[in-house]
Chain A
Amino acid sequence: MIVSAIASVSSRKMLRTVVYLLFVLAGVAGIFFLIDYNFLAAVQLTVYGGGIVVLMIFSVLLVHHIEMKLEVAKLSKRIVTALFCAIGAGVFISTIYTYDFQVTDSTKTTTTAEIGTGLLSYEAGGFILPFEVISVLLLAVMIGAIIIAKGKKLETNKDEIT
């Protein structure tokens, strides 16, 4: 998974980076399956693996020639960035390993019904308000995407007609 992640930010062929990203997302879904959140793994696979990756492949195919090599940053800049990222990751990991997590042993399996009722409950701890907000956000994004992707074309068409 890590190898695919590194490959997806360093490969120079555009389409390959998207495929490596797909491998990373499938690996994350595998982690979700292993810790028993089956619903979340299914959401991850459908939304990321099915939706986002297909969208990206389409945009890559629309925008690029497949064999076109990507431009990469200068070697010195890449090395400096990699160094800073390694330092940051080292700080993160050392902090994580020094913190004492209160790990509780539990083999409880959550069902999808529990997630659904929790997501839609009005009581304390319910998540109905963010749920509604996210649905409005999705609607707004859908309209915005349609307008942005189509607006220019429609205007030119109108000009041609008149």
Chain B
Amino acid sequence: MIEGVTIYEILGLSSILFFIGVYGFITRKNLISILISVELILNASVVNFVVINKYVYPDMLQGVYVSIFIIAVAAAETALAVSIIINLYRQINSVEVRDTEIMKH
């Protein structure tokens, strides 16, 4: 654990990070910006897992495994989303949310 930093402060920081992500997810109009917001949300959850594991159950490693899985899933999701976005841009020349009204082309 970090000297002089309590678990409350880090958990508060991660929840602020989470809500910044939610704010960006709702207000941005661009697919890539929405993807960035989703990354922020996932990262806040990773911080939560790791910090609770370290401060409350320091002898176990479950939180570390779960966060590795979350990071892997986030990477996979980003790769897939970027490929979908580029394919969409090729077809309709835009990445704004309101222009994406087709599912199949």
Q: How far is the CB of B84 from chain A (nearest CB, A)?
A: 6
Asked if B89 and A63 sit within 8 Å, CB to CB, the answer is yes
Complex interface: chain B residues within 8 A of A96 (CB): 8, 11-12, 15
Docked pose: A2 CA to B47 CA in angstroms: 14
Of B23, B27, B36, B74, which is within 8 A of A18 by CB?
Answer: B36
| Interface size classification for chain A | 35 or more
Number of contacting residues on B, CB 8 A? 72
Docked pose: A149 CA to B55 CA in angstroms: 43
Tell me the residues in window 1-43 of chain B with beta carbons closer than 8 Å to chain A beta carbons: 1-2, 5-8, 10-13, 15-24, 26-30, 32-33, 35-37, 39-40, 43
Over the window 14-45 of chain A, the binary record of Cβ atoms lying under 8 Å from chain B Cβ atoms (1 yes, 0 no) is 10011001001100100110111101100110
Dominant secondary structure of chain A at its interface with chain B: helix
Of B62, B71, B72, which is within 8 A of A125 by CB?
Answer: B62
Asked if B76 and A78 sit within 8 Å, CB to CB, the answer is no
Asked if A72 and B27 sit within 8 Å, CB to CB, the answer is yes
Over the window 126-149 of chain A, the binary record of Cβ atoms lying under 8 Å from chain B Cβ atoms (1 yes, 0 no) is 010010001001100110111011
Docked pose: A116 CA to B76 CA in angstroms: 21
Complex interface: chain A residues within 8 A of B89 (CB): 62-63
Q: How far is the CB of A149 from chain B (nearest CB, A)?
A: 4
Complex interface: chain A residues within 8 A of B105 (CB): 152
Docked pose: A149 CA to B81 CA in angstroms: 10
Additional pairs, 5, CB under 8 Å, beyond known A35-B54, A48-B39, A58-B82:
A1-B17, A9-B20, A28-B43, A115-B61, A153-B90
**Sampled A-B contacts (16; CB under 8 Å):** A1-B13, A5-B21, A9-B27, A9-B36, A24-B40, A35-B1, A55-B82, A58-B82, A62-B89, A63-B95, A71-B30, A85-B20, A101-B7, A104-B57, A114-B61, A125-B62
